[in-house]
Amino acid sequence: MRIGILGSGLMGGKLGTIFARAGHEVVFSYSRSEKKLEQLAGEAGVSARAGTPREAVADADVLLLAVHWNRVDDVLRQAGDVSGKIIVTCSLPMSDDDTELVVAHRSSGAEELAKKVRGASVVSAFGSVPSEVLFAVFNARDSREPPHLLYCGDDDEAKETVADLIRDAGFEPTDVGPLRSARYIEPFTMLVARLAYEGDGGPAVAYRFEWREEEEA
């Protein structure tokens, strides 16, 4: 797959590296430092390169949107026409000081994004785990019980593509339905962040749900 990374920070840098190491073609874009993009590409391997957001979009099948909420309009403006693309968003609609969700309950960041990029298929994924756990999960990708990763979207074909990427990253995809389910994923992520950054176990946390046979008392 050809994947354009829009926002090459903690999430975009690591996920882009993981996708490249899983065999995908990756273009890292949108950083204040071109040198950083070049370095990320160099470390990710031969199938990765650095580019502008427009170059990241040009041949991409999938775009990963990984910027702060207050940079979404800017990166989309720089990206140009994204119609026909699958946009995976891990971007949370956080306030400028990163303390609270500024979209919630009746909408979600993913749904608001979808309104901005009509013609593209938005899938919400990867945003519900901290960046600190990504390499640990990828490095353990052959384990029998990988962590789950919640994802949702309205386009089934786009979701299948993203489910493959989730598997490539070492997680087991957990489909929670239409894009409006991001209204529940995004606040859940705040809980995961609390565990990661305020809990005793350190920031490299992921999650796994368990399904049991229902039993009588």
Q: Which residues bind ligand NAP (CB under 6 A)?
A: 7-12, 30-33, 36, 66-69, 71, 90-92, 94, 127, 130-131
**3-state class (DSSP) for residue 100:** coil
Query: What's the min distance (Å) between Cβ of 129 and ligand NAP?
Result: 7
Q: Whose Cβ is closer to ligand NAP: residue 97's or residue 215's?
A: 97
Measured distance CA(67)–CA(128) in Å, rounded: 15
Taking each continuous run of H as one helix and of E as one strand, the counts in the chain are 8, 8
Nearer to ligand NAP, 77 or 118 (CB): 77
- How many other CB atoms are there within 10 angstroms of residue 52's CB atom? 16
33 or 83: CB nearest ligand NAP: 33
Nearer to ligand NAP, 60 or 64 (CB): 64
CA distances from 81 to 54, 55, 68, 90, 119 (A): 8, 11, 20, 20, 9
Could you tell me the two tokens for 211? Answer: 């399904």
CB 203 → ligand NAP: shortest distance, Å? 8
> Rounded to whole angstroms, how far apart are CA atoms 170 and 183?
25
Q: How far is the CB of 101 from ligand NAP (least distance, A)?
A: 10
The least distance separating ligand NAP from the CB of residue 89, rounded to whole angstroms, comes to 8
